[in-house]
Amino acid sequence: MKIAVIGTGYVGLVSGVCFADLGNEVICVDKVASKIAMLRQGEVPIYEPGLRELIQKNVAAGRLSFDDELSGAVRQSDIVILAVGTPSLPSGEANLAYIEQAAQEIALAMNGYKIVMTKSTVPVGTNERIQQIIGQFSGYPFDVVSVPEFLREGSAIQDTLYPDRIIVGTDSVRAGETVVGLHRPLTDNIIVTDIRSAEMIKYASNAFLATKISFINEIANICEKLGADVTKVAEGMGYDKRIGSSFLQAGIGYGGSCFPKDTGALIQIAGNVNYEFKLLKAVVEVNKDQRFNVIAKLKESLGDLKGKTIGIWGLAFKPNTDDVRDAPSIEIVETLLAKGASIRLYDPVAMSTFKAVVNDPSLVWCDDPYETAEHCDALCLLTEWDEFRQVDLVQTEALMKQPILIDGRNVFSGEQIAITNFCYYSVGRPSMRRHVQEPILGTY
């Protein structure tokens, strides 16, 4: 198939590269000329393991190219994939301006029958709006198909090439058969449904996963008060096939581009039809509060944070990405700055993206975990990078002013902590609380 992909963010770029790797001819389009120039030079504007190599392979094979002009790519293609951004408005609703503009440009460029395949996450009813726009500006035949993405940053290529399922929403037999055929090499788990159900499946899936995260974090908070271990609780729950073990890892909450945006959008979608989504509102509230447990534990161990030096391990919202959108690290660092703390930071790949969001001149940017720990009154682990799992805690402790470690992702085991003198705080594991001598205030 000949495919044009409009938008070269995570979804568009990864999808386009993977479709090329399956043997299709793919043109990835983006209005940002500098991004296209970067891709043509073999550079990748996002951090995603394995993506650079896959791009180089398919460009060399002549199956993948990049362009900043939409019209030519649309004319050359049988399928046009919409993968432009739908950022949140202040109300929480999805901003559809980019989608609507792209639909109009696609319509004006058409030179024959096209299948427009929407992979952007859009509110229920948006694909019908896309259909109206294209029909208004083009006299050529076309079909609109909703194929929502379920990619996880850091494993997006794996998720694309080995998906759990493919959802195809369409009211056209012709388009449905073509799109099913395009995805057939990936999986036999292909569900064909109406367009509105396909749109809703995406939001419902992300809302449910967000709910699992907030639920286990609430359980962790109760475990801390009752003396239970949330990791054991989650393990016991996970063996129940009705529940499953995924997304039951207690921590400081979710972030990134999908869960915060999609939960907010679904609350607004429900509100637009006069339904109050009480459960999802609670999920969002719990998630927002969870990250501030780090601040509470710092205050419990150090008292007044003014003048204290705090080290931060990890800035990305999750490992294996440089994405800091809605990352817990942002609010934690901003809160610490507001309380007068000095902050030392390190992340294996997300330093530059974090600087673009929070670039206070007092921040100290470090080159590795050990430099970060130097002269610190406390360390906070916010992202569970493997590099932090492998750190020598005895060496780390020796570099610090006070041995306080806030493990926001439950990375370290009891055995690792036992050989140190750390005053150790984790999430929902009170049995691992450690006492230290004065002048540290309190114990946990």
Instruction: State both tokens at 361.
Output: 């001149």
Pair 348, 367: CB distance under 8 Å: no
- Point out the catalytic residue in the list 18, 28, 223, 258: 258
Handedness of CA 135, 139, 145, 148 (dihedral sign): negative
The DSSP output letter for 432 is G
Side chain identity, residue 324: V
Which amino acids are annotated as binding site, given as ranges?
Answer: 30, 35, 86, 121, 150-153, 202, 247-251, 255, 261, 318, 325
Structural tokens at position 352: 């530059």
Distance CA 116, CA 119 (A): 10
The first and second tokens of residue 253, run together, are: 């909450």
- Side chain identity, residue 120: S
Q: Residue 186: in which H helix or E strand, if any?
A: none
Residues linked to residue 407 through DSSP beta bridges, in sequence order:
381
Residue 407 CA to chain centroid, in angstroms?
A: 21
Residues forming the annotated binding site for substrate?
150-153, 202, 247-251, 255, 318
Exposure string over 120-142, b if 16+ CB within 10 A, otherwise e? bbbbbebbebbbebbeeebeeeb
Report the half-sphere exposure of 412 (CA within 13 A, side-chain side).
Answer: 28
Residues in the chain: 444
**Which contacts qualify for 235-241: CB closer than 8 Å, 24 or more apart?**
none
> Comparing C-alpha atoms, which of 196, 150, 188, 203 is closest to residue 171?
196
Binding residues for NAD(+): 30, 35, 86, 121, 153, 261, 325
Task: Let me know if 223 is a catalytic residue.
Answer: no
Distance CA 287, CA 386 (A): 24
Phi and psi for 415 in degrees, rounded to 5? -65, -40
Residue 106 in contact with residue 80, Cβ under 8 Å?
Answer: yes
Do the Cβ atoms of 86 and 115 come closer than 8 Å?
no
In three-state secondary structure terms, 330 is helix
Burial group, residue 264, by CB count within 10 angstroms (0-12, 13-18, 19+):
buried
Residue 2: closest CA among 51, 67, 70, 63: 63
The beta-strand segments (E) located in 294-365 are 309-313, 342-346, 364-365
Catalytic residues: 258
